[in-house]
Structure 1
Amino acid sequence: MNASEAKIEWLFINLGWFFLVAVMSVIGLDVIIRDSAFPSTVLALLIFGGVANIIAVVSLLQNSSGKLLQRLMLLNDIALTLGFIAGSSKIQSQLLFVSLIPITVAAMRISWFVSILLTSAVVGSYWLIAWSEIGFLSVNAPEFIYTTLPQLINGLILVIAGSAVSYIGTRIKQSLLIERKQQEKEAQLALQSAQKKIKLIFELASTLSATLNYELILEAALDVSDASLREFFNKGDDISQIGMILLYGMDQTLYIAASQGLPDADIVLRFPAQEGAMADAVASVEPIIINHPYDDPELKYSMGINGCQQAIIIPLRAGFDSYGFLMLASPEEDIYSDEFVELLVAVSNQAVLALQNASLYQSLMDDKDRLVTIEEDARKHLARNLHDGPTQIIAAIAMRLNYIRLLIKKDPDEAVKELAEVEDMARMTTKDIRQMLFILRPLILESQGLVAAVEQLRQKLSETNNIEIHMEADSVVDKLLTKEAKGSIFYIIEEAINNVKKHAKAQNIWIRIYPQGLNVITEVKDDGVGFDVSEWENNYAGRGNMGLMNLQERAELAKGQTAVRSTLGEGTTIIVTIPAVHKEHTA
């Protein structure tokens, strides 16, 4: 039973109680005036009616009030009415009009025709009871008419009143039915609207889950927003709007990343979001609906917006991260309702999740590409070192041995000297190869940690280079770094030292590794010739020093950052910051 039906049933039950109270009041007053006893028949009928009403109340509270019980309650009211009239001598006229209550109930429960029949039955019963008391067979016609005239008038008045009450009851019933149908219609429309929302959100989720390309995601979000408006209002092609997705650029201004229905001249616009509707959306983090967006201090520069009467701005946020806005604008007024705004918020949330997934996927792909590039660079580096170092020396050793073979017969003493030099060359080559093998796979890094591995690297490089390498490291850093981060720092230090050897013309290198706050800091400093950092940064495409780029990429793989400080003639400092694993160790 719905709320409207329950209201009607409570009305009927209250009328039943009112009916019993009215009868008891009329008869009670008559008993007091006449100083007589309360009629036992009427008292029994009142008790019976009260019990019947209690049963109706319990049934309604248990939501089990069916059609059968309703019909029984109506018959009960009719029987009580006739019983009260028959059991109350000399006050039938007063009780007669109390019968309007069940007549009204009959009109509202069944129909106007049934209530008229009930009125006729009550009036007929009243006349029969009254005439039987007069003895209509024992008096002549004139006397009978004179004696029964009051009963006739009362009966006719009841017929008229009953007809009017029946009509009013029927109209009340019709009003309640119309209200019920209206509520059902509204509920149906709300259900259809919810189904449309679910359908559109499902379609958006399906579309967005099918791609990890952020450009396609933005286009899909605009497509669904446009389709949502058309389907939501069932207007098909009769409705038009423009849409755009604004994202924050490197300069923290908003640029148009994707659009629909926007003039080409608007694509290059940038919005600082410092005033107007977009500034309000940034401050409130809530959807903003604006009328006459062409008056907005920032949007007025858009040619597409100039023809629109209403616009809506939806922030694209995930947690505390703000990506930008989804904006729709239409030449029609008051088109964006609260329900449609809720739908757009759901669309925006799905789009943000897809953007996050696409960003994560792109980041993983970039990391993969960087790994491939680093491995390729490492192979090239190894090949170049083998070619420039051991390969050249081994070729020289082969030539010297051939020369020594000729000297043995001519000048044995000189041959012995040449053999000693060849031995030195072979020993040096062995050290170079061992150093290369150590750098390729430093087993000590896994067994003893980063500090021990860097110290061994320092010793090996000191044996084969004239550069003095100084090291200062806090052993606690081994507890603060993951295995991958330790490997990244080791190769960053090795690459930085190689850069110094090739370009810096330095006499000293200082290596420092220490915890700071929630990070581990690695510094590699030299006293070489230095370089102009700004010129190096501005000439990204034509950089000749790929070693610094490799340092940055390796740091990014460990979720770290790289800073380069250098001045011509004053050396270079490379600072690498990598997040620590356990925050409690970084205090």
Structure 2
Amino acid sequence: MANLLQALLTNDILFLGIGGGMLLILGLAVGYMFGQRKRKGKVRHKTEERTTDNWMDLRWKKIYQLSTDLSNTLNYEKLLDTALDLSSAALSNENGTSSNLVSAVLLFDQDELVVQTSRRFTNADLRNTFQGTKGLLGEAINKGESTRSQEILQDPEIARVVAIRACKSAYCIPLRSGLDVYGVLLFAHPDKDFFSQDNCEVLEIMAVQAMNAIQNARLYQDLAQEKERLAETQEETRRKLARDLHDGPTQSIAAIAMRINFARRLIERNPKEASEELFKIEDLARKTTKEIRHMLFTLRPLVLESKGLRAALEAMAEKMQETYGQAVAIDVDDNIVAQLDMGKQGVIFNIADEAVNNARKHAQAAHIWVRLKASQKGLALLEVRDDGIGFDVEKIKSSYENRGSLGMVNLKERSELLNGVLQLQSKPGVGTRVQVYIPMTEEAVERLLHRS
């Protein structure tokens, strides 16, 4: 019995030892398997992280490249296309394929938003115009902030866009600079949760870059137009000088030559009458000299550079009296002149000189008044008024291009050089009043632009 018990105990112990060993081995195996799985999971996680990192690197490389393209172009249409391509690239998925993003640039044309360029819009969508006062567009423009919406089909404006009807979310970013809103960037996507905080932040960055590029392009266009306008103004100045020389001094010099020839033949027959003719020729020559000097003065009034606007206007008035017998009164607020740089003073002088000469030639005025004074807040007023015969303003405006005269066109263009607004008032029999409102501050410029 004892031997049997001992044998059983020995066998049990052996069994337990074997079982314990097996359990230990099993435990080690399971642990190893879990360890391997965990390590494989970590490797897979790291691989996924590397894949994500590679995708993010590729994403930002695309953004950087497109941003460079955006900053390097001044072509307006190419710039807007690049802005949409930039947004699409920034939000593409990890495989780099399209994100099914619907996008468009809507810019104001007068009081309506029109489609400048788009992605995935139908031909019918491209013809749509928007008031920008309701729904997603209205909220973004009125608040001046980016706005999201998941109620596209209920939107009173963008629901008309066929390409957007299949989308479940939309995002609108206003393109603004200061108080001015140029338009909006509009995005839509079939995924209702597509416009996450991260994606929206990326689009905001793109919008800022696009707005800066748009402003640069517009400034470049404005500069190009300004250069073209200055060239046209210079060409018109040359044409005006040629006309004035032809109508004035050239005719006078031709008359002098003819009368000298007449006086030379008259000397032998009637010396006394010839002497009187020579006196008349001398008067005509002196008058012609004054006309030429007046033209030289208006081309480049040196007194303007040395003594300023008041002295230049007073010198112009004196020469008008001496040369043509035309009375011109000058009234200038020196406080206004002190706020004007020399370039603006030169433009104001040219406007006044042009208006005074128009009045002298056409108005049959006994008196002409030139005034420069303070007007409303931040504005100065240049006014040239006469007591001449006047004219029908609308009739003159309607026939100006056909008549080929650019007098009023010159006044308008020179007023625009000051960011000013030209107003013309006249009626037959009551004289004429030419007014130019000149902004003296940036706020005044904004007010005049909105008013005009």
TM-score range with shorter-chain normalisation?
A: 0.7 to 0.9
8 Å Cα contact 2:104/2:187 also seen in 1: yes
1:288 and 2:151 matched: no
**Equivalences for residues 107-506 of structure 1 within 5 A:** 177=39, 180-181=42-43, 184-185=46-47, 187-229=49-91, 231-234=92-95, 236=97, 240-251=100-111, 253-291=112-150, 293-330=152-189, 334-506=193-365
1:221 maps to amino acid: A
* 1:311-352 Cα shifts (integer Å, max 9, x gaps): 332222345442211223345665444433333222222221
8 Å Cα contact 2:400/2:406 also seen in 1: no
8 Å Cα contact 1:316/1:324 also seen in 2: yes
Higher relative contact order (CA 8 A, sep 6+): 2
Q: Mark the CA change 1:184 to 1:422 in structure 2 (over 3 Å): closer, same or farther.
A: same
Secondary structure of the 1:481 match is: coil
Distance 1:205 1:141 in 2: 93
Q: Mark the CA change 1:528 to 1:306 in structure 2 (over 3 Å): closer, same or farther.
A: farther
Secondary structure of the 1:432 match is: helix
Aligned twin of 1:554: 414
Q: Mark the CA change 1:369 to 1:293 in structure 2 (over 3 Å): closer, same or farther.
A: same
Larger-Rg structure: 1
How far off its partner does 1:530 sit? 3.9
How far off its partner does 1:212 sit? 1.1
Distance 2:156 2:56 in 1: 36
Aligned twin of 2:446: none
8 Å Cα contact 1:480/1:520 also seen in 2: no
Q: Mark the CA change 1:530 to 1:400 in structure 2 (over 3 Å): closer, same or farther.
A: same
Secondary structure of the 2:334 match is: coil
2:199 maps to amino acid: F
8 Å Cα contact 2:330/2:369 also seen in 1: yes
1:527 maps to amino acid: D
1:523 and 2:383 matched: yes
Q: Mark the CA change 1:141 to 1:410 in structure 2 (over 3 Å): closer, same or farther.
A: farther
Secondary structure of the 1:348 match is: helix
Question: Normalising by the residue count of structure 1, what TM-score does the alignment of the two structures yield?
Answer: 0.65
8 Å Cα contact 2:363/2:389 also seen in 1: yes
How far off its partner does 1:306 sit? 3.6
Q: Mark the CA change 1:170 to 1:306 in structure 2 (over 3 Å): closer, same or farther.
A: same
Percent of aligned pairs sharing the same letter: 38
- Structure 1 unmatched ranges of 5 or more: 1-139
How far off its partner does 1:576 sit? 2.6
1:576 and 2:430 matched: no
How far off its partner does 1:527 sit? 2.8
How far off its partner does 1:390 sit? 0.5
**Structure with higher helix content:** 1
* 1:552-581 Cα shifts (integer Å, max 9, x gaps): 2223334x2122131323333333344448
8 Å Cα contact 1:208/1:217 also seen in 2: yes
Distance 1:305 1:206 in 2: 30
Distance 1:519 1:187 in 2: 62
How far off its partner does 1:164 sit? 8.9
Secondary structure of the 2:248 match is: helix
How far off its partner does 1:144 sit? 10
1:492 maps to amino acid: I
Secondary structure of the 1:297 match is: coil
**Equivalences for residues 44-123 of structure 1 within 5 A:** none
How far off its partner does 1:473 sit? 0.8
* 1:10-44 Cα shifts (integer Å, max 9, x gaps): xxxxxxxxxxxxxxxxxxxxxxxxxxxxxxxxxxx
1:557 maps to amino acid: L
Q: Mark the CA change 1:194 to 1:322 in structure 2 (over 3 Å): closer, same or farther.
A: farther
Aligned twin of 2:450: none
Distance 1:534 1:197 in 2: 60
- How many pairs are equivalent? 440
Q: Mark the CA change 1:173 to 1:382 in structure 2 (over 3 Å): closer, same or farther.
A: same
How far off its partner does 1:187 sit? 4.1
2:121 maps to amino acid: L
**Alignment root-mean-square deviation, CA:** 3.7
- Structure 2 unmatched ranges of 5 or more: 444-452
Secondary structure of the 2:187 match is: strand
